[in-house]
A and B are shown apart, each in its own frame.
Chain A
Amino acid sequence: MSRPLDADSAPPEPAMNRVAQAGLTCPVPAGEADRVQLGHGSGGKLSAALLRERFLPRFGNDVLELLGDAAVIPAPGADLAVSTDSFVVNPLEFPGGNIGHLAVHGTVNDLAMMGAEPQYLAAGFILEEGLSFEVLDRVLDAMSEAAREAGVLVVTGDTKVVERGKADGMFINTTGIGRLDPEFRPDPTRASTGDAVIVSGPIGSHGVAIMAAREDLGFEAELSSDTACLAPLVSALREACGPGVRCLRDPTRGGMASALNEIAASSAVGIRLEEDALPIPGPVRAACEMLGLDPLYVANEGILVAIVSKDRAEEAVQALRSHPVGRSAARIGTVTGERPGLVLLRTGLGASRVVDMLPGDQLPRIC
């Protein structure tokens, strides 16, 4: 099994161990609740606790415990990356895309974040009795188009139908397989002091567009999901910076804050963001202010955050900008040696605050 980054050293410890040793995990109590809450699906601390307390103890193995966006499986020739993701979104169609786009992009992007070249997809569909064929066709058209663009083949699938009321129109699960490049293995444990934090596009568009469509807030026109395939951006980064690309994450649920906290914890480094550098579109900012939400915690489906060595930072930004999906790429911060595990944001006024992971779902504020 090829591990070029650790060729001369002992195999790396499972990421969870490193995190625990750094004293950075917050042991979320199971709580008084004896059942699953929506917050367990938020990508925040509750999700992490669910994984740590119930899933890892039962399924733990060396491959799983690395907890990357995709698993790395040894194979003759080149190792394979495997990733699975389920898609449950309401409404099924929203400005900028539909659940079909998400189902392809989400899994393909998880593979791409490992540095893998996405190749094959398996897709499972749970359809609700009464779903119109018109909607289903549009979702399947979107999947087919997204798969073609991403250069992946849907090679197997499954359909099940459940009674009316038992699913939100439809749920989709996709599993993707990609080929890994032994020379290009970004990894959330590889951030080190001085590296640049780079984001490939505007923050917060997807989550805010979904919320606006769901709540019928009246300013949907200005907001649309950013759902996009990120594999071409990763290729551009690989060509421009090679192994100078240390970590890649797509900040989906839990948003930028959760993705960066995970990197900070996994690499035992600090991360400093510059508030003024964050590319947050005006309509997203306005909607977040109105709803009392923080864009840093809002889900994205078409941006990546890259940790890139200092000497390659400028090339990385230029490489991203050369592609339409990455045209507003920007450097937003720096990896530091201070306060390992913490993400700090320097505000526009020059003060600092902690950007923590959320305990559960982000809740709109009263005042």
Chain B
Amino acid sequence: MKYLSEYRDPALARSLVDRILATASRPRVIMEVCGGQTHTIVRQGLQELLRDAVDMIHGPGCPVCVTPLEQIDRALFLASRSDVIFTSFGDMLRVPGSELDLLQVRAGGGEVRVVYSPLDALEIARANPDREVVFFAVGFETTAPANAMAVWRARELGVTNFSVLVSHVTVPPAIEAILDAPDNRVEAFLAAGHVCTVMGWKEYEPLVERYSVPIVVTGFEPVDILEGIYMAVQQLEDGRSEVENQYVRSVRRAGNEPAQELVAKVFRLVDRAWRGIGEIPASGLGLRPEFEAYDAEKKFELSGIRTSEPSECMAGDVLRGRIKPFECPAFGETCTPERPLGAPMVSSEGACAAYYNYARFQGEPAGETA
């Protein structure tokens, strides 16, 4: 990991902070769309360094946070079936469904396994031909190619006991939904570097034109993020709105075309519900009809499981930047990381969980750190 050290250089980071503070003529509102960026911002305390010059809003870019309750409940149903081995990325396991989470289902006898790749889930299916193996295919465009590959390989290998519960979402429609909201405060976006490594940035160009909003494709290290913020602030101060690429070491305009082709062969655009936000047209990926045999929703007839979001949770307003997490009446009261009402309180990079910790630290009279 040595090649990353320059992107964590404290002196470089501080000089970028100074330039941001000197450039912003008034507080700017910038949203980072990716959970990985939120993670860095929270872990490195970047908001504290930016003071009032920039208000970072943690957008709907954490797949854990935006997977709708209904899909979680479907996952829980599948995981509790005795004929199913349910496989998932680790941090989906604690996401609360209507009543339980996957960890509790596992304690109750369901077989739930953490995998690091959907191809591992496919291997589990091949090793357990008498069981149904389901992989929880969540995430943005970043995880879509590997998930497409798993389905493609399953068909190639003639594996019939493997299926995926798909809850894929895509970034551009989410940005559009945020910008379309009448009370939108977001002035500029940091687009997610990993997503753009796959997809490129062509699809952001119409958004920039239509909404006059700066979008900066940004990486994940502290220096990346501060540089992305600096580029966005400069655009705002200059009155420009362009797609700029901070993450040049990884992203090309056209993206990774073979990966895009594979995704397009396996998936198609579908309407998709986002937890806390609701349905956004053509905002997700679903399996193409020719891969229906690998669709867990069809295989296990899950359409009967219908769940609506708890009315007390204001996750949608938080994810759209309308309110700060602490402005939600449930925040820290009926909703805590130990007993989350909504997904942003679950993941450590969820906006609410991040504020829960940060606010506890800020809540006391300032000492030497302030």
A residues whose Cβ falls under 8 Å from a Cβ of B: 26, 28-29, 31-33, 35-39, 45, 215, 282, 285-286, 289, 291-292, 336, 338-339, 342, 344, 346-354, 356, 359-361, 363-367
Shortest Cβ distance from B17 into A: residue: A349
Shortest Cβ distance from A351 into B: residue: B45
Partner of B45, one of A282, A352, A356: A352
Shortest CB–CB separation between residue B97 and chain A, in angstroms?
Answer: 10
A363: chain B residues within 8 A (beta carbon):
90-91, 93-94, 114
A-B contacts, CB under 8 A, total: 135
| Residues A359 and B338 in contact, CB atoms below 8 Å apart | yes
Shortest Cβ distance from B36 into A: residue: A367
| Residues A366 and B143 in contact, CB atoms below 8 Å apart | yes
B62: chain A residues within 8 A (beta carbon):
367
| Residues B44 and A37 in contact, CB atoms below 8 Å apart | no
Measured in the bound complex, the distance between the Cα atoms of B46 and A213 in whole Å is 35
B367: chain A residues within 8 A (beta carbon):
336, 338-339
A350: chain B residues within 8 A (beta carbon):
10, 14, 49
Measured in the bound complex, the distance between the Cα atoms of B89 and A353 in whole Å is 26
| Residues A342 and B360 in contact, CB atoms below 8 Å apart | yes
A360: chain B residues within 8 A (beta carbon):
94, 103
B311: chain A residues within 8 A (beta carbon):
none
Q: Report if A28-B338 is in contact (Cβ < 8 Å); known contacts: A367-B62, A367-B139.
A: yes
B48 in the interface (beta carbon within 8 A): yes
B93: chain A residues within 8 A (beta carbon):
363
Shortest CB–CB separation between residue B2 and chain A, in angstroms?
Answer: 8
B357 in the interface (beta carbon within 8 A): yes
Measured in the bound complex, the distance between the Cα atoms of B278 and A186 in whole Å is 55
Partner of B103, one of A26, A37, A215, A366: A37
Measured in the bound complex, the distance between the Cα atoms of B91 and A291 in whole Å is 11
Partner of A349, one of B46, B63, B90, B91: B46
B107 in the interface (beta carbon within 8 A): yes
A282: chain B residues within 8 A (beta carbon):
1-2
B residues whose Cβ falls under 8 Å from a Cβ of A: 1-2, 8, 10, 13-14, 17, 34-36, 39, 42-49, 62-64, 89-94, 99-100, 103-104, 106-108, 114, 116, 138-140, 142-143, 194, 222, 336-339, 347-349, 357-358, 360-361, 364, 367-369
Partner of A31, one of B42, B104, B106, B368: B104
Measured in the bound complex, the distance between the Cα atoms of B101 and A361 in whole Å is 14
Measured in the bound complex, the distance between the Cα atoms of B104 and A351 in whole Å is 36
| Residues A367 and B35 in contact, CB atoms below 8 Å apart | yes
Shortest CB–CB separation between residue A34 and chain B, in angstroms?
Answer: 9
| Residues A353 and B42 in contact, CB atoms below 8 Å apart | yes
Shortest Cβ distance from B138 into A: residue: A366
24 intermolecular pairs with C-beta atoms under 8 Å apart: A26-B338, A29-B338, A32-B99, A35-B104, A37-B104, A285-B1, A289-B1, A291-B116, A338-B364, A344-B361, A347-B43, A347-B45, A349-B44, A349-B49, A352-B361, A356-B337, A363-B114, A364-B89, A364-B114, A365-B349, A366-B90, A366-B138, A366-B143, A367-B143
A36: chain B residues within 8 A (beta carbon):
107
Partner of B357, one of A33, A286, A339, A354: A354
Measured in the bound complex, the distance between the Cα atoms of B338 and A37 in whole Å is 14
Partner of B48, one of A28, A338, A352, A359: A352
| Residues A366 and B14 in contact, CB atoms below 8 Å apart | no
| Residues A365 and B90 in contact, CB atoms below 8 Å apart | yes
Shortest CB–CB separation between residue B140 and chain A, in angstroms?
Answer: 8
Shortest CB–CB separation between residue B24 and chain A, in angstroms?
Answer: 18
Measured in the bound complex, the distance between the Cα atoms of B54 and A27 in whole Å is 35
| Residues A344 and B369 in contact, CB atoms below 8 Å apart | yes
Q: Report if A32-B338 is in contact (Cβ < 8 Å); known contacts: A339-B361, A348-B8, A367-B35.
A: no
B116: chain A residues within 8 A (beta carbon):
215, 291, 364
| Residues B45 and A35 in contact, CB atoms below 8 Å apart | no
| Residues A354 and B91 in contact, CB atoms below 8 Å apart | no
| Residues A354 and B361 in contact, CB atoms below 8 Å apart | yes
B222: chain A residues within 8 A (beta carbon):
348-349
| Residues A38 and B106 in contact, CB atoms below 8 Å apart | yes
Shortest CB–CB separation between residue B339 and chain A, in angstroms?
Answer: 5
Q: Report if A352-B106 is in contact (Cβ < 8 Å); known contacts: A32-B100, A286-B1.
A: no
Partner of B89, one of A344, A349, A366: A366
| Residue from A286, A342, A350, A351 whose CB has the most chain B CB atoms within 10 Å | A351
Measured in the bound complex, the distance between the Cα atoms of B367 and A342 in whole Å is 13
Shortest Cβ distance from A283 into B: residue: B1
B114: chain A residues within 8 A (beta carbon):
363-364
Measured in the bound complex, the distance between the Cα atoms of B364 and A352 in whole Å is 14
B361: chain A residues within 8 A (beta carbon):
339, 342, 344, 352-354
Shortest Cβ distance from A35 into B: residue: B107
| Residues A367 and B63 in contact, CB atoms below 8 Å apart | yes
Measured in the bound complex, the distance between the Cα atoms of B229 and A248 in whole Å is 43
Shortest Cβ distance from A366 into B: residue: B89
Measured in the bound complex, the distance between the Cα atoms of B17 and A351 in whole Å is 12
| Residue from A28, A346, A367 whose CB has the most chain B CB atoms within 10 Å | A367
